[in-house]
Structure 1
Amino acid sequence: MLVISDTSPITNLIQIGHLDLLRQVFGQVILPRTVYDELGELPR
Structure 2
Amino acid sequence: MRGVDPWTTPDPLGEALHALRMAGTFYCRSELTAPWGLDLPPEPESM
- Name the TM tier (shorter chain): under 0.3
TM-score, normalising length: structure 2 = 0.27
Which structure would you say has the larger Rg? 2
Q: If each structure's helix is expressed as a fraction of its own residues, which one has the higher value?
A: 1
TM-score, normalising length: structure 1 = 0.28
Q: Which has the higher contact order (CA 8 A, sep 6+)?
A: 1
